[in-house]
Chains A and B, each alone.
Chain A
Amino acid sequence: MKARLTRWFTAMVGLFLTPATLANELRLNMTSGATDMSQTVYDLHMLVFYICVVIGVLVFGIMFWSILRHRKSRGVTPATFHDNVKVEIAWTVIPFLILIGMAVPATLTLLELDNTDDSELSIVVTGSQWRWHYNYLDYDVEFQSILATQNEQTYGRLPKGENYLLEVDRALVIPTDRKVRFLITSDDVIHSWWVPEFAIKKDANPGYINETWTRVNEPGIYRGVCAELCGQGHAFMPIVVIAKKPAEFDAWIQEEESRIAERRAEEERLLDMEMSMDELMELGQNIYLSQCAACHQPNGRGIPGVFPGLVGEGVSVGDRNAHIDIVVNGSAGTAMQSFRASLSMSELAAVITYERNAWGNNTGDRVQPADIHNFIQGNQ
């Protein structure tokens, strides 16, 4: 701890006195990132920063000089001047010119940053409480990405891993050297998709799509977070992007497409099969903990007034169809969204079964994938 403190202290001083690289090494400054754009942004940041430091040093320098010299204890008599048009004009005009000096590069950078034309790949990024969905527009690939850090680490029952809160179950994969366009939107509240190394931060507004882009130079793993307050899980919906060489990316996406197709076929087969209680409960518990527990809590008791409890009350111990309905279709105008697109039939069946039998709900009901299938068919 003490070593860290000194390291931090030298860095603080260092940021002002020595080149910014030192601060960068210690990760106390903005990252210069992994793209040309992020480098430009970083340079602009340093430019403005240095200008501000110089202004500060000048102003405070003069001020401290008068504090030291023009103090009564030194027996000075105060001057009486209180106006000087010339200097007043000077200190109006000079800052203005400095500002223009900053505005020009800022404008050029912004024009480039906001230009999403000529992209080679488009990915729809949808935020929802509290996960990200990724949908490759030109491919049949779609999945969601959820925090992978275990709860036990957060609550101090397990040591925290290196990427604590910055790891997800399924990372977004993009190619390097291609202009990738992100179409950012949300299912519920406003989130903000931020990957510092790409210098991209765009709000995910429900009902609207914002566009942004990146072109990554080096393959690697890049981590980001949600940057707009979106409720209790705001700190718990990180972003992980894996950039792969174009050829590897193409291979990956093909593999992914066929995997997803296979899974669909598997779903079809499952429709004719009965899953056992144990199977359902095990799968159900996994799904519940990863998808539902953020709101309804791991113990199913919810948060009174915000998220309903599922233990011994409501549809979980009541009408089966109403239960299927709310999980499949969501409840309009509330945080309870539709899980029809993000979960498979078997997963839906399992999580509903789980809710109906966990925490002493013991209804004994089993819901099968086919039931879900029939429910959805019947609905149409």
Chain B
Amino acid sequence: MSTVVADSHDAHDEHHDHKPTGIKRWLFTTNHKDIGTLYLWFSFIMFFLGGSFALVIRMELFQPGMQVIDPHFFNQMTTMHGVIMVFGAVMPAFTGLANWMVPLMIGAPDMALPRMNNWSFWILPVAFLIMLSSMFVPGGGPAFGWTFYAPLSTTYSGDSTALFVFAMHIMGMSSIMGAINVIVTIMNMRAPGMTYMKMPLFVWTWFITAFLLIAVMPVLAGVVTMVLTDKFFGTSFFNAAGGGDPVLFQHLFWFFGHPEVYIMILPSFGIVSAIIPAFARKPLFGYASMVYATASIAGLSFLVWAHHMFTTGMPTFASLFFMYMTMLIAVPTGVKVFNWVSTMWRGAMTFETPMLFALAFVVLFTIGGLSGIMLAITPVDYQYHDTYFVVAHFHYVLVSGAVFSIMAAAYYWLPKWSGVMYDEALGKLHFWCSLVSVNILFFPMHFVGLAGMPRRYPDYALQFADINAIVSVGGFLFGFSQLIFLAVVLKCAMKKGEKAPAKPWEGAEGLEWTVPSPAPYHTFDTPPEVK
């Protein structure tokens, strides 16, 4: 029933690496590596699904007029695209990376609570099946945007809202359990000598992310509950006639939502902080300031939520407060960007695929961050808000930010996971196709946005036609470029490729490179000594 691993010195030997086989291995697993793999594959599938929905959106927006789908279905597509990408693709990808890497990086044998770990994972496919099934309820699926503003999501929504709410509930439980696991693992399972200020930045950023998660996911659970009771049980939290306020919904949602967007970027910072020093062959510049900057970003993220609500008619002093706080975030984020650039400065760089993605991340994320600063300027946000300028902003930070960093991480650690080197030529091809197409896709969105094209529009005025056509072409190019990535990953999964050494990257540092590739099923049964 249970494994007791003696404190033996040959714990790293391959023949000790016994593992369960068959389907049971995956269903019942408590192994952090297996669970990490499950998370990553799940996220990959969700990325393709959410991406296909995006392509449906882009297909409809290719020309003015309604050609392919009707407006109601269009709204379902935007909603599902947002929900799936955020909760199904990016967050699980990060959790998968945390599962794989955090124990390896701190010298722990596994996550602290391995069974709960399995539970957190398996809730996700179940939750998303329910979420997707809601599209087949009479009246169609959720069509109120991933932000599900009341009262569009309450009084004026379809029946499927009930399924949406309950799916969100269990998804939230999964995230909370995942986050608790990360926190406890980091606090309690570090190898001797692995002090907090020696932890790799990926561990640090995930540690902080996990706190954000347990602080805000419950608030999301609360707000979806209120949506449920408002819609089905006659309460009026978001209804003025009963003394409530629709704007209350937005406060609660964004109190969750803004930290949520940082949940989707802080682990990226950790990944990039691992990759850039490795390929610049030079220690990370300003380790301590990186940690403090991450913590400040996380702290500030609780004080900026209403920058999504400048047009809701808040009193002026509130708008000003939230504007100042939002602008402040540029300072710690700037520290990070400058640290990365200084790490490259006078290094000896090579440009393997992980590095390429990391470099693209730095540039494109910064572009997204700078447009974020523009959005923070309240009086101008009156013009930007709910236009494609916002869509451009968040896809820069999310796609060429978060998603690129996930791809960088995948290339960086695939040899460790699979034991074989990925196909460098394909990797480079994937990178260049992605880099070019992602910019054809999202850069022009800034311009249609400024020119006045609102978001969540299934149809638009003629002056936006040209740019939308270009954007759509970019969307398809970017989408199909990801098939290259799929090919790369599949090749590794099928062990086709050169055998990878324990440490395939010359400049890489960290405990994960001290174990063989592929990492044995059980690592660090005996805690390593960290000096």
Judge A-B direct contact (beta carbons within 8 Å): yes
**Complex formed: what's the CA distance from A60 to B359 in Å?**
10
Contact indicator B71/A232 (Cβ below 8 Å): yes
CB-contacts of B55-70 with A (<8 A): 64-67, 70
A28-B246 CB under 8 A given contacts A48-B373, A164-B461, A189-B156:
no
Contact indicator B349/A70 (Cβ below 8 Å): yes
Contact indicator B366/A59 (Cβ below 8 Å): yes
B199 on interface, CB distance cutoff 8 Å: no
> What are the residues of chain A within 8 A of B75 when measuring CB–CB?
229, 231-232, 234
Q: Which of B33-41, B253-261, B279-287, B419-427 contacts A (4 or more CB under 8 A)?
A: B279-287
- Known contacts A1-B466, A229-B145; 14 additional CB pairs below 8 A are A8-B470, A12-B444, A41-B383, A44-B379, A66-B341, A66-B344, A70-B344, A102-B373, A156-B65, A194-B386, A208-B240, A232-B143, A235-B458, A334-B155
> What are the residues of chain B within 8 A of A228 when measuring CB–CB?
149, 386
> What are the residues of chain A within 8 A of B334 when measuring CB–CB?
91-92, 95
CB-contacts of A46-66 with B (<8 A): 48-49, 52, 55-56, 59-60, 62-63, 66
A77-B341 CB under 8 A given contacts A163-B461, A190-B149, A227-B385:
no
B312 on interface, CB distance cutoff 8 Å: yes
Could you say which of B241, B245, B246, B362 has the most chain A C-beta atoms within 10 Å of its C-beta?
B246
**Complex formed: what's the CA distance from A233 to B327 in Å?**
35
> What are the residues of chain A within 8 A of B251 when measuring CB–CB?
none
Q: Which one of A41, A63, A99, A306 contacts B72 once the chains associate, using CB atoms below 8 Å? A: A306
A199-B382 CB under 8 A given contacts A12-B447, A205-B313, A229-B149:
yes
**Complex formed: what's the CA distance from A210 to B370 in Å?**
30
CB-contacts of A222-246 with B (<8 A): 225-236
Pairs A–B under 8 Å by Cβ, sample size 19: A12-B447, A29-B451, A55-B370, A56-B366, A66-B345, A67-B349, A70-B348, A76-B348, A78-B346, A79-B282, A82-B284, A87-B342, A189-B156, A210-B313, A229-B152, A229-B456, A230-B152, A234-B456, A234-B457
A80-B377 CB under 8 A given contacts A70-B347, A208-B313:
no
**Complex formed: what's the CA distance from A28 to B323 in Å?**
26
Contact indicator B151/A206 (Cβ below 8 Å): yes
> What are the residues of chain B within 8 A of A76 when measuring CB–CB?
346-348
B116 on interface, CB distance cutoff 8 Å: no
Contact indicator B311/A102 (Cβ below 8 Å): no
A67-B346 CB under 8 A given contacts A95-B331, A110-B379, A206-B246:
no
A79-B347 CB under 8 A given contacts A92-B335, A160-B65, A199-B382:
yes
Contact indicator A106/B379 (Cβ below 8 Å): yes
A52-B371 CB under 8 A given contacts A5-B466, A66-B346:
yes
Q: Which of B11-19, B132-140, B212-220, B514-522 contacts A (4 or more CB under 8 A)?
A: B132-140
Contact indicator B155/A333 (Cβ below 8 Å): yes
A41-B385 CB under 8 A given contacts A82-B286, A95-B334, A189-B151:
no
CB-contacts of A262-308 with B (<8 A): 303-306
Closest to A162 in B: B462
CB distance from A371 to the nearest CB of B (A): 30
B residues bordering A, Cβ < 8 Å?
64-67, 70-72, 75, 137-140, 143-145, 149, 151-152, 155-156, 158-159, 239-241, 245-247, 280-289, 311-313, 316, 319-320, 323-324, 327-328, 330-331, 334-335, 337-338, 341-342, 344-351, 359, 362-363, 366-367, 370-371, 373-374, 377-380, 382-383, 385-387, 443-444, 447, 450-452, 454, 456-463, 466-467, 470, 507
> What are the residues of chain B within 8 A of A1 when measuring CB–CB?
466
> What are the residues of chain A within 8 A of B383 when measuring CB–CB?
30, 41, 45, 196, 199, 201
> What are the residues of chain A within 8 A of B285 when measuring CB–CB?
81-84
A316 on interface, CB distance cutoff 8 Å: no
CB distance from B14 to the nearest CB of A (A): 33
A78-B64 CB under 8 A given contacts A72-B349, A306-B72:
no
**Complex formed: what's the CA distance from A334 to B133 in Å?**
24
> What are the residues of chain A within 8 A of B338 when measuring CB–CB?
59, 87, 91
Contact indicator A235/B459 (Cβ below 8 Å): yes
Contact indicator A110/B452 (Cβ below 8 Å): no
Closest to B243 in A: A207
Closest to B462 in A: A164
CB distance from A294 to the nearest CB of B (A): 10
**Complex formed: what's the CA distance from A86 to B281 in Å?**
23
Q: Which one of A31, A52, A156 contacts B67 once the chains associate, using CB atoms below 8 Å? A: A156
A10 on interface, CB distance cutoff 8 Å: no
**Complex formed: what's the CA distance from A81 to B287 in Å?**
12
Q: Which one of B149, B342, B344, B454 contacts A67 once the chains associate, using CB atoms below 8 Å? A: B344
> What are the residues of chain A within 8 A of B385 when measuring CB–CB?
192, 201, 227
**Complex formed: what's the CA distance from A48 to B327 in Å?**
12
A114 on interface, CB distance cutoff 8 Å: yes
CB distance from B322 to the nearest CB of A (A): 11
Q: Which one of A4, A12, A154, A233 contacts B65 once the chains associate, using CB atoms below 8 Å? A: A154
**Complex formed: what's the CA distance from A92 to B293 in Å?**
10
> What are the residues of chain B within 8 A of A88 when measuring CB–CB?
286, 289, 335
**Complex formed: what's the CA distance from A87 to B282 in Å?**
18
What number of A-B contacts does a CB cutoff of 8 Å give?
303
CB distance from B48 to the nearest CB of A (A): 25
**Complex formed: what's the CA distance from A92 to B66 in Å?**
50
**Complex formed: what's the CA distance from A77 to B367 in Å?**
31
Contact indicator B370/A79 (Cβ below 8 Å): no
CB-contacts of A126-154 with B (<8 A): 129, 153-154
Could you say which of B288, B335, B379, B452 has the most chain A C-beta atoms within 10 Å of its C-beta?
B379
A303-B139 CB under 8 A given contacts A153-B65, A229-B152:
yes
Q: Which one of B151, B288, B289, B345 contacts A190 once the chains associate, using CB atoms below 8 Å? A: B151
CB distance from B364 to the nearest CB of A (A): 10
CB distance from A12 to the nearest CB of B (A): 7
> What are the residues of chain A within 8 A of B286 when measuring CB–CB?
82-83, 88
Closest to B245 in A: A208
Contact indicator B347/A305 (Cβ below 8 Å): no
> What are the residues of chain A within 8 A of B363 when measuring CB–CB?
60, 63
**Complex formed: what's the CA distance from A88 to B331 in Å?**
11
Contact indicator B139/A306 (Cβ below 8 Å): yes
A202 on interface, CB distance cutoff 8 Å: yes
A165 on interface, CB distance cutoff 8 Å: yes
**Complex formed: what's the CA distance from A297 to B316 in Å?**
42
A374 on interface, CB distance cutoff 8 Å: no
**Complex formed: what's the CA distance from A184 to B467 in Å?**
32
A341 on interface, CB distance cutoff 8 Å: no
A113-B382 CB under 8 A given contacts A67-B359, A208-B313:
yes
Instruction: Across the A-B interface, give the 6 residue pairs with the lowest CB-CB distance, nearest first.
Output: A207-B240, A305-B139, A210-B313, A305-B138, A52-B370, A79-B346
A72-B346 CB under 8 A given contacts A48-B373, A234-B456:
no
Contact indicator B283/A80 (Cβ below 8 Å): yes
> What are the residues of chain B within 8 A of A210 when measuring CB–CB?
312-313
A315 on interface, CB distance cutoff 8 Å: no
**Complex formed: what's the CA distance from A18 to B166 in Å?**
53
**Complex formed: what's the CA distance from A96 to B342 in Å?**
19
Closest to A49 in B: B374
Contact indicator A72/B377 (Cβ below 8 Å): no
Contact indicator B283/A82 (Cβ below 8 Å): yes
Q: Which one of B379, B450, B454 contacts A109 once the chains associate, using CB atoms below 8 Å? A: B379
CB distance from B246 to the nearest CB of A (A): 5
CB distance from A167 to the nearest CB of B (A): 10
**Complex formed: what's the CA distance from A303 to B444 in Å?**
35
Contact indicator B139/A72 (Cβ below 8 Å): no
Contact indicator A110/B346 (Cβ below 8 Å): no
**Complex formed: what's the CA distance from A88 to B461 in Å?**
48
Q: Which one of B280, B366, B377 contacts A48 once the chains associate, using CB atoms below 8 Å? A: B377
> What are the residues of chain A within 8 A of B70 when measuring CB–CB?
232
CB distance from B477 to the nearest CB of A (A): 16
CB distance from A159 to the nearest CB of B (A): 10
**Complex formed: what's the CA distance from A124 to B311 in Å?**
17
**Complex formed: what's the CA distance from A122 to B283 in Å?**
64
